[in-house]
Structure 1
Amino acid sequence: MYERDPRAAVGLVAVVAAVGLALAWYFRPWLHSAVYGIYTTPILPLAAVLGLGLGLLARRRLGTFVGGRVGLAVFFALLVTGSSVAGLLAGEDLGKATMEQAGTAEELRETDPAKPRVVTKAVASRYASNTLNFPQYRIAGGDITVRNGTPYWSYALAPDGAFNYYTKRQHGTVLVDMTRQNADVDTVVGDLEKGVGPVFYNNYRFATLKRANYLVEYDDPFMVVHEGDQYIAVPYTKPEFHWLPLPYTTPEWGGVVLIDGQGTIEDLSPAEARAHPVLQEQKLYPFELTRERVAATKYRKGIVNTFTAHEDEIEVAPVPGEGNDQPFLVFTEAGPEYVVAVEPYGEAQGLKEVWTVDARTGEYEIYTPTESLFGARKATDYVRQAARTTDWNRFRPSEPIPVVIDGELYWEVRVVPSDSSGIAYTAFVNARTTDVHEVGTTAEVRAFLEGTPVEGSPDEGETAGRTPTIVVERVAPNGTVIETLEIYGNETVRVVSGTTNATASD
């Protein structure tokens, strides 16, 4: 009878293992999420060691089957409970560190009127798609870039369809001017060796995870057009390890990866990124890290407080953004910065703090209002109330962005159609007085940001300085005022109900 050679079996296992390891090494970018998750969960090896030790001890006394079950139960119990506690410790550590490192701002920086943020992300995506005339490509991504001093929404021209996905590269960059209300789209054409959207062997992320740092977390990429050449910039964070009282990690800014059109990858430290000529005008600090750190400041009074008294606890204000949320990147006279408006925990919607983060250096500042101001969510309610003729079944307020004009804080709210086909108008809501100023053109937006009175604002026109005789409020069943109508002088109000008309004179 034929007997197998044990050496041949061992050799076969070794060959299979070697091939498996080679494939795993080559395709390691596909394993990144799992590997990075394990790497940034240092409680995992501790749970494994304790589970194995207790399992072996139980095996000696209770047998292999029971011992194995005991070991697995201990491992999973320690992993779940330990990860939960470590997550709370990480949040508290990150929040308190953010509070300690943040400077105190006496006032917010003035918004740069030359770089107004007019077009929302949803509208920019629609503009880019509507003007696209490349049948084999689609737009992908969507982030802010700066070219020659003007901020744009940038998109990659990615292959469209299965065949093109495998055979074509990123074909260029689509830029939508975010400072102009009407569609102003520019397309820079040219294939990138490693780009956004194609199959892995032509993809920037696969190449980055093979040639740059592997054990880091990459943010979303954004396109940069510099002197006619296209680049992809990717900010990233790296973990900082803490070992007591339980092992956990917190994120910190690691740097920026820059990929040129030929696929050359540069891994830049924060200082190197700021000094790089291609990135001179760009935001560099990771978006997700900004939100995570500001949100973590809810633990400023400790973990127990967040589950009990909620003293001084905050939350990042949820705002209508159509796929785009805080922080918002704004351009001030001092440069680009992320702005995060936070509210008190719970049902309160007042403005508790405004966090500003230098988008190039990552320096945090906290501004605490000295007077009562309302927050971003409430600003959209005031826009609805002030708009007497807007059909809110067809339009919606979007992206309330804080802007500062002559030391006064306003919420800049864009009103857009439900299909995001354009900007209907822009409303500036005074965060102190609740006055709503509606402007309809880009020129009027710039004029308002410059502090120039805009025709048609509440401070001008035939009703300026006059007190209405009657104020009619349209109220929802829950008591919320949906809109208001002011009646002046000898004007009348006509109430129509069914087929019966009633007229009231003042």
Structure 2
Amino acid sequence: MKRDFSDRFESVSTGSHLAKRIALLTAICGLVYIARPLVHGVVYPLIYEPTWLLVGGSTLIAAVGLWLAPPLTTEGRQVDGGSLSLFLSDSAVTKLGLLGTLFAVLFVVGMLYSVPAGMVTERTLADRTMAESQQIDELPSINPDNPRIVPRAVADIQTRGSTSYRTQRLGPSDIARAEDGTLAWSYAIEPDGFRNKLLSNQRGVLLSDMTRMENRQITAYDDQQFAIGEGMYLHRSADWNLKRTDYLTQYRDDAVEFTHDGTAYMYYPKTGHEWQLTPLPHTVPVWDGGALIAPDGTITHLSPEEAQASEILDGQRLYPLYNTEREMASLGFRNGIINQLPVVGEHAEQVEVAEMPSGAGNSQPFVIDLAGEQMSYVTAMEPYGEDSRGLDEIFFVDASTGEIRYFGAEDQTLTGPERAMGIVRSADSQTGWGDNFQVVEPVPVFINDELWWHSKVVPTDNTDVSRNVFVSAESGDAVELRDTAAVREFLVGEDIENIDDVDTEPAPNTEGVDYYIVIRGSDGEELERIPVEPGQNPTIEYVPAGEGNSEPDQNNSTS
């Protein structure tokens, strides 16, 4: 005999059953709302990620529907529908089986959907990025007063070695502008240890000058207790309170710690998402403003326009670095989805973010201060291809407004960061690379409309900066500078001949030259530079004056 679908459910008091279930569901929702910052990572993509919405949202709706439905019967036999024993009953097992089957089907559908939706997202983002970009004919000028001389690793070692906090530690470093206009590595002074993270407060912020090799200033604003801050647990943490007060946004970037009129602040860029319904429903990231936290715990949520107009935030990085990373990564899709596909794609004019070599210590986009104290996110793009390492385009994203400009290399062959670091090592064959010293943090600088890669040579223990080396992206020439004054003179565009304490190297692939033997005096000044041709195996003889034909005292063989 044919059974009606309603026969599958146990005959219970519908009103009483729903009342109990709705009351329990309401209590669960209340608890989730109170602890909503903890589930932000799940809730946000359920709203703004098509695959999560399809799989997770549909599964959640089905779970609530099955929860509110009367207990199921099996084989015509009624089962106990008690609220607690439901989880152990045949009815619960049946419902979970139905839910699991639905989830499995939705998961497969979601994964299949995510492939074209992901490509459409990248295509939309690339189109928007190029539509908002302005092509420039000349490279912008660098700010010579704010060279990035001190790498992050060196700043971390030196700064932590210069502070003495028993119950605090320095958080991760980031780049901020100090009140005198210089760039600095900034740190939150966080509580250290479980007990202190639970009960103590962030003590303030610390700024470490990155623009000097000598006489560097490390300034601690450590007398300002933050009511909510970094390194503080649960409801006292900045993360908890940011998500509690503005939930439908993302905080992808680390905090920018800085001071204004002697007061410490932290700024958090915000990333939102916009739905696009064609050709497939998808979302793209947008700038959603930022949040400013003061020591007293006040959180001021700002729109992009309000952040740009804020006197406190003047000169700081406002635009999310995460958004810039997404925009630059999407540019491979700017000539269409098919163009970038393997096998069938032509890859016409396709670009990709230039790879950074292992051990570089930094990644793109680079944070650079341009003329007029205009911080910018700079990304070097190279042509698509495994063997393509020359630069094709350079993108500049204003860190305050998000405005985009780009420079096309056209027919020029420009050296990328990986090759530039290799030139630094090749130009000095006498240094024990990897054993004693290493080349780190190449960043682009622009001098007289020419691109140079500014790298630093540091000991392997990152305790100091030995020298700064600039490599021309056009010629491959290397310029080695050993003090701050020389670096600033070079960035201004001063002729190398007029700069004190400068060593220059031609490109290491100079025809007929394998390497150079450099002779220096006791004061370090170069006395002579002897080119060595490929295949030569010279010996160095130390001969006292007046002993022209004596046997050599020491032989050093180089190859």
The Cα shift of 1:19 comes to: 3.4
Q: Are 1:343 and 2:370 an aligned pair?
A: no
- For residues 172-221 of structure 1, the C-alpha deviation after alignment (integer angstroms, 9 at most, x for no partner) is 11110011124431110111011111112221111111112433344211
Q: Are 1:267 and 2:304 an aligned pair?
A: no
Q: Are 1:93 and 2:124 an aligned pair?
A: yes
Match of 1:199 in 2: 233
The Cα shift of 1:239 comes to: 0.4
Whole-angstrom CA distance in 1 between matches of 2:198 and 2:53? 40
Distance 1:71 1:436, change over 3 A: same
Whole-angstrom CA distance in 2 between matches of 1:122 and 1:102? 33
Distance 1:459 1:171, change over 3 A: closer
Q: Are 1:416 and 2:416 an aligned pair?
A: no
The Cα shift of 1:17 comes to: 3.4
Whole-angstrom CA distance in 1 between matches of 2:58 and 2:451? 55
Whole-angstrom CA distance in 2 between matches of 1:23 and 1:503? 75
Contact 2:514 2:531 in 1 (8 A): no
- For residues 250-306 of structure 1, the C-alpha deviation after alignment (integer angstroms, 9 at most, x for no partner) is 001110111111111111111111110110111111111111101100111212221
Match of 2:197 in 1: 165
Letter in 1 for 2:217: D
TM-score by length of 2: 0.78
Structure 2 residue matching 1:79: 3-state secondary structure: helix
Q: Are 1:373 and 2:405 an aligned pair?
A: no
- Pairwise mapping of residues 225-240 of structure 1 onto structure 2 (< 5 A)? 225-240=259-274
Letter in 2 for 1:35: V
> 1 or 2 for the larger relative contact order (CA 8 Å, sep ≥6)?
1
Q: Are 1:361 and 2:401 an aligned pair?
A: yes
Distance 1:284 1:7, change over 3 A: same
Distance 1:78 1:469, change over 3 A: closer
Contact 2:480 2:504 in 1 (8 A): no
Match of 2:209 in 1: 177
Q: Are 1:30 and 2:38 an aligned pair?
A: yes
The Cα shift of 1:310 comes to: 2.1
Letter in 2 for 1:447: E
Distance 1:472 1:412, change over 3 A: closer
Distance 1:164 1:325, change over 3 A: same
Letter in 1 for 2:490: F
Equivalenced residue count is 473
Structure 2 residue matching 1:493: 3-state secondary structure: coil
- Pairwise mapping of residues 315-334 of structure 1 onto structure 2 (< 5 A)? 315-320=352-357, 323-334=361-372
Which stretch of the first structure deviates more once superposed, 281-290 or 41-50?
A: 41-50
Rg larger for:
2
Contact 1:319 1:325 in 2 (8 A): yes
Match of 2:170 in 1: 139
Match of 1:155 among 181, 184, 187: 187
Match of 1:314 among 332, 343, 351: 351
Structure 2 residue matching 1:298: 3-state secondary structure: helix
Contact 2:429 2:515 in 1 (8 A): no
Match of 1:56 in 2: none
Q: What residue ranges of structure 1 are gaps of 5+ in the alignment?
A: 54-63, 475-484
Whole-angstrom CA distance in 1 between matches of 2:225 and 2:101? 57
Letter in 1 for 2:442: P
- Pairwise mapping of residues 107-122 of structure 1 onto structure 2 (< 5 A)? 107-122=138-153
Structure 2 residue matching 1:278: 3-state secondary structure: coil
The Cα shift of 1:90 comes to: 0.2
Percent of aligned pairs with the same residue? 32
- For residues 428-449 of structure 1, the C-alpha deviation after alignment (integer angstroms, 9 at most, x for no partner) is 0011111100111111111111
Whole-angstrom CA distance in 2 between matches of 1:118 and 1:472? 27
Whole-angstrom CA distance in 2 between matches of 1:469 and 1:289? 47
Whole-angstrom CA distance in 2 between matches of 1:147 and 1:502? 49
The Cα shift of 1:28 comes to: 0.5
Contact 1:43 1:247 in 2 (8 A): no
Structure 2 residue matching 1:175: 3-state secondary structure: strand
Whole-angstrom CA distance in 2 between matches of 1:48 and 1:191? 41
The Cα shift of 1:379 comes to: 0.5
Which stretch of the first structure deviates more once superposed, 311-320 or 101-110?
A: 311-320
TM-score by length of 1: 0.85
Contact 1:194 1:263 in 2 (8 A): yes
Q: What residue ranges of structure 2 are gaps of 5+ in the alignment?
A: 1-11, 63-93, 518-527, 542-553
The Cα shift of 1:395 comes to: 1.9
Match of 1:59 in 2: none
Contact 1:43 1:79 in 2 (8 A): yes
Match of 1:280 among 314, 331, 340: 314
Whole-angstrom CA distance in 1 between matches of 2:259 and 2:556? 62
Distance 1:495 1:459, change over 3 A: closer
Bigger strand fraction: 1
Distance 1:137 1:503, change over 3 A: closer
Whole-angstrom CA distance in 2 between matches of 1:175 and 1:374? 33
The Cα shift of 1:414 comes to: 1.1
Distance 1:244 1:338, change over 3 A: same
State the Cα RMSD in Å.
3.3
Whole-angstrom CA distance in 2 between matches of 1:143 and 1:49? 37
Letter in 2 for 1:37: P
Distance 1:107 1:284, change over 3 A: same
The Cα shift of 1:105 comes to: 0.9
Match of 2:258 in 1: 224
Match of 1:40 in 2: 48
The Cα shift of 1:71 comes to: 4.1
Match of 2:423 among 371, 382, 402: 382
Contact 2:275 2:284 in 1 (8 A): yes
Match of 1:482 in 2: none
Whole-angstrom CA distance in 1 between matches of 2:324 and 2:232? 29
